[in-house]
Amino acid sequence: MEKYIIDGGVKLKGKIRAQSAKNAVLPLLAASILTDEQVKIRNMPVINDVENMLRILSEVGCKIKRQKDCAVIDSSNAVSHEIPARLTKELRSSVFMLGSVLTRFHRAKISYPGGCDIGLRPIDLHLAGLKRLGVKIVEKDGYIHCEADRLIGGEILLDFPSVGATENIVLAAVRAEGITVIRNAAKEPEIIDLQNFLNAMGAKIRGAGGGTIVVEGVRRLHGVEYTPIGDRIEAGTYLIATATCGGEIEVQGVFPENIAALLHKLRENGCKIHIKNDKIYLTSDGNLKSVNLVETMPFPGFPTDMQAQYAALCCTARGSTLIVENLFETRYRYAAELKKMGADITVRDRSALIRGVERLHGACVTAGDLRGGAALVIACLKAEGRSNVMDISHIDRGYADFEGKLKRLGAKIRRVKG
């Protein structure tokens, strides 16, 4: 097991280019088995979730070649409709393989997906949508067995604009017979990226980014070379870190409108922000003021994946902030760790009241999930003295070279064996 050792109290300054978005790359990898031709994805982030998805593709028979920062997927010899349980338990996004494998083989077998322990995250919406396309589903002994001689387009109304369900239904509908209409679809930028990727392969999809997506089924898809969008959550993490610690940062490679909700809050906190094309410039004196309320919402609202990092900022801001988590049930596991550092946090159900303190002190804390782990690192960068962040494998799931990028900003952080 590895850990971070962090000496806090240093301001950050420098430039960061965002990696390709984890939440965009994973469904693109799942979509790669929809064609017999090669798919090349550029600017592939070296993170554990991507490596696990590539292992799943290998297990079903795809050939994977790594070329510098690219991955080439050849699924012409893919033969298996079973997605290995030992890998799905490590990766929540393995559920995207359900729609793709169904399209390719007309049947699929998958165990319930894993990932971070941040709530129940049921896949009922995924399964209900697939049933509307003619899929027969049997749940038995912890596995989901799906079968469909023919996938047939249909009308689907999602009870909640789930990102995963929207993407899974699109992947199943792209080669279905007829037209599929998905209403109350998720509007996240990663949905648009999946549409653009599939359309570049010959699909006929429109409406992504809005509440209604229309998929006109096609008979076949062809290979493609594609560069995914930049990671708005990674970009937001570095912006929050710099805002918290004080300093100056230029983040490149992310569309500012994709993190507009965060930028609005950071301005309210007292940060100065300038935007030019895909560059975001932020300056902070580290002496921030609190905002009254932050509620996580589906896009374009404040993203749940930046809630924990923003909470770390609130710990030393003047005043109090109430954070309300509307998407996941158990996303405050980091709060007990922040309290070890002197933070004043009261958690009740889905709400956390954070009263800003004058300073945090170094401590030994443990990452319990991906974004909570990033929040602990931000707090340790702000704190006085030395901190240890344990179990950083969670952080490796979503951030490529996290400590390397922070070092380039001036942070005193190093990775060592635990």
Catalytic residues: 116
The HSE-up count of residue 209 (CA atoms within 13 Å, CB side) is 10
Cα distance between residue 234 and residue 370, in whole Å: 11
Cα distance between residue 222 and residue 32, in whole Å: 10
Cα distance between residue 345 and residue 356, in whole Å: 9
* Pair of tokens at residue 321: 């902030």
Q: Residue 148: how many CB atoms within 10 A of its CB? A: 21
Q: Which of 409, 417, 363 is nearest to 393 (CA)?
A: 417
Do 67 and 38 form a contact (C-beta atoms < 8 A)? Answer: no
- Taking each helix axis as running N to C, give the angle between helix 232-245 and helix 260-269, from 0 to 180 degrees, rounded to the nearest 10: 0
Sign of the C-alpha dihedral computed for residues 93, 94, 99 and 100 taken in this order: positive
Do 194 and 208 form a contact (C-beta atoms < 8 A)? Answer: yes
**Helical H runs in 94-162?**
96-105, 124-132
Do 113 and 139 form a contact (C-beta atoms < 8 A)? Answer: no
Task: Look up tokens 């089924």; give the residue.
Answer: 217
Distance of alpha carbon 411 from its chain centroid, rounded?
Answer: 24
Do 413 and 24 form a contact (C-beta atoms < 8 A)? Answer: no
Q: Residue 119, class by beta-carbon neighbours within 10 Å (0-12 exposed, 13-18 middle, 19+ buried)?
A: middle
Cα distance between residue 389 and residue 90, in whole Å: 21
